[in-house]
Amino acid sequence: MNPYLPVLIVLIFGLTLGAILSGLAAFLGPRNPRPEKIEPYECGVPTVTNANEKMSVKFYLTAILFILFDIETIFLYLWAKAFPQLGWFGVSEIMVFMVILVAGYIYVVKRGALEWD
């Protein structure tokens, strides 16, 4: 049996459950919206501006660095899987890989890209 058939079952289940929970309130709860009630919550103060404001660039930087280090982690997984067959050759391979990436990491730290001040 295809091992992903259970994935499909779970996906359908998860989506249904989410949809049920999402739709339940519409049927069970009361519904009487007033302008004050549906206002976005801002600690009781009238809403000032739209919530879509420009955010700190650090979040994007984190996301970019995450992609790169994520890919690195995947390579490490592949290497770990092949490690028993590769032996010392594998160790040397990953050392080269690591040294290059650690250079990048040191650059990141030195440039202060990880500072959240």
Partner 1 sequence: MGLTANEFTVQFIGTLIKFAIVAGIALNIPPVMVWAERRIPAMMQRRKGPNRVGIFQFRIYGLMQSLADTIKLIFKEEVVPEGAHKAFYHLAPVFAVFPAFLIAMAIPYGPDIQVFGYTVPLSVIHVDVGFLFIFAVSSLAVYGVTIAGWASNNKYSLLGALRASGQMISYEIPLGMSLIPIVLIYGSLDLNKIVEAQTHVWTWGVFLSPISFVLFLISMFAETNRAPFDLAEAEGELVAGFHTEYTSAKFAAFFLGEYVSMFVLSCLASTVFFGGWQVPFFDVRSLDEMFGFVGVGALVGFMSLLLKAAFFMWVYVWVRWTVPRFRYDQLMNLGWKYMIPLGLINVVVTAVILAAVRF
Partner 2 sequence: MPDFSLLLTHGIFHILAALITVVSIFVVASKHPVKSAVFLVIDLFLLAAVYASLDSHFVAAIQVLVYAGAILVLFLFVIMLLNLQPEQLRGLKFSVIESGTLLISLIGLLIMIFTSFRGVQTGLGDGTLDVQAIEAAGGNTYVVAIKLLTSYIWPFELASILILLSIVAAIVIAKKDKKVLTSSPSGQS
Binding site residues, partner 2, CB under 8 A? 1-5, 7, 52-55, 57, 59-61, 63-68, 70-72, 74-75, 78-79, 81-82, 85-86, 90, 93, 96-97, 100-101, 103-105, 107-108, 111-113
Is position 10 an interface residue for partner 1 (rule: CB under 8 A)?
yes
Report, in Å, the least distance between residue 69 CB and partner 2.
Answer: 8
Is position 46 an interface residue for partner 1 (rule: CB under 8 A)?
no
Tokens encoding 93: 């391979």
